[in-house]
């Protein structure tokens, strides 16, 4: 008997998803073999590998049945069925709606396999999806969301029970890997001593709100010209952000170092972390920053309040003026005190215990 972890794709955009699945699977019994199927991309690009990896090399168009690929769906599902029959899998851990649409129809004829579908963010649910999720009995299908906020929304959309598995990290292991402030700054190319640094981490895409952050930061510099902003990540919006930096005259005050593999070790390079996202399923960056002892300014989103409550520093989504005020105010108070309050609200040790217990139950 084994566990099969099925992921939609590899690459930087899916790094957080792979990280969550790795954390879940870390709770499986050590005697149970784990295999990962990667439907798109290469294992070397995933950043996280769990067990033996099989690369399927499929395109999004083929998986979604677009255009003439619709005709190949029966053949593709037959391939998956044969592969599952040849495996020793008794539990499938499925990455979100796309993977569920691909594999749940196959499981209808494989009654010995149970599926756990993990949703990492909001997604558009169709009537056909509701019907698909309702075809398998609860004894064979568990739907999981990485936050209570997402679970509530998803349960309404799918009209099935949804288990909350708020993603969490082992706080002791996470903290032991953190680099000291000086080393973290050097790793990011910041050869600075006392310069106050506002950090941000995430894919360079419109949904992360970095355009608003740049505008707000430019305005904040009128009162705090000593600040530096570092946005770690890569993505399709890089050119637009760089043009915005030039337009705002921020070349010497904003750094875009690109994707950094060990960014989870570098949070102590920052004095504050900004999360100006337009929406999030959970926002693992918040957890990582707070566990590193760095306070967070975040968008006014339910999922962020779910984690930090009244200790969080919030600004309305894409409200440049409010974000500007929050940045200025943040660098005029004791970051250490705010960080301690946010750590207590996040309660990483209790969150990890709950996550571990729920994960073990899902995989048993």
pLDDT of residue 153: 95
Q: Which two tokens stand for residue 47?
A: 């950043």
The DSSP annotation for 175-229 comes to HHHPPPHHHHHHHTT---SS--EEEEES-SSGGGTHHHHHHHHHHHTTT-TT-EE
Helices 348-363 and 15-25: angle between axes, nearest 10 degrees? 70
pLDDT of residue 287: 95
Burial string for 124-141 (b: 16+ CB within 10 Å, else e) reads: ebeeebeebbeebeeebb
pLDDT of residue 312: 96
pLDDT of residue 49: 66
Q: Kindly report the CATH number that applies to the domain delimited by 2-165.
A: 3.40.50.2000
0.75 exceeded by the pTM? yes
Superfamily per CATH, domain 171-346: Glycogen Phosphorylase B; (3.40.50.2000)
pLDDT of residue 177: 97
147 has pLDDT over 90: yes
pLDDT of residue 271: 97
Nearest to 96 by CA among 123, 66, 70, 114: 123
Taking only the tens place, the pLDDT of each residue in 10-52 is 888 888 899 899 999 999 999 999 999 999 998 887 666 678 8
Residues of the chain with CATH 3.40.50.2000: 2-165, 171-346
pLDDT of residue 47: 64
321 has pLDDT over 80: yes
């Amino acid at each position: 008997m084994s566990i099969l972890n099925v992921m939609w794709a590899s690459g930087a955009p899916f790094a957080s998803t792979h990280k969550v699945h790795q954390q879940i699977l870390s709770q499986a019994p050590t005697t149970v073999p784990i295999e990962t199927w990667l439907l798109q991309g290469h294992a070397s690009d995933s950043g996280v590998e769990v067990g033996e990896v099989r690369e399927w090399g499929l395109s999004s168009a083929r998986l979604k049945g677009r255009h003439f690929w619709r005709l190949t769906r029966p053949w593709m599902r037959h391939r998956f069925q044969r592969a599952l029959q040849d495996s020793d899998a008794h539990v499938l851990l499925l990455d979100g709606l796309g993977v569920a649409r691909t594999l749940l129809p196959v499981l209808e004829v494989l009654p010995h396999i149970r599926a756990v579908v993990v949703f990492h963010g909001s997604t558009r649910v169709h009537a056909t999806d509701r019907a698909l999720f309702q075809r398998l009995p609860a004894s064979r299908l568990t739907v999981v969301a990485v936050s209570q906020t997402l679970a509530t929304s998803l349960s309404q959309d799918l009209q099935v029970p949804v288990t909350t598995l708020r993603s969490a990290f082992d706080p002791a292991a996470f903290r032991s890997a953190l680099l000291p402030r000086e080393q973290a700054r050097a790793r990011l190319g910041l050869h600075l001593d006392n310069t106050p640094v506002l950090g941000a981490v995430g894919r360079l895409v419109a949904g992360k709100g970095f355009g608003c952050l740049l505008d707000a930061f430019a305005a904040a510099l009128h009162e705090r010209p000593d600040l530096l902003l570092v946005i770690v990540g890569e993505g399709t919006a890089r050119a637009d952000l760089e043009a915005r930096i030039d337009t705002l005259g921020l070349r010497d005050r904003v750094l875009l170092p690109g994707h950094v593999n060990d960014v989870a070790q570098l949070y102590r390079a920052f004095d504050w972390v900004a999360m100006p996202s337009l929406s999030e399923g959970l926002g693992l960056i918040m957890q990582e920053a707070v566990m590193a002892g760095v306070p967070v300014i975040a968008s006014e989103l339910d999922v962020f309040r779910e984690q930090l409550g009244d200790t969080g520093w919030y600004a309305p989504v894409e409200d440049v003026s409010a974000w500007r005020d929050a940045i200025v105010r943040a660098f005029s108070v004791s970051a250490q005190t705010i960080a301690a309050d946010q750590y207590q609200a996040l309660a990483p040790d209790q969150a990890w215990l709950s996550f571990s217990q729920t994960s073990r139950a899902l995989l048993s």
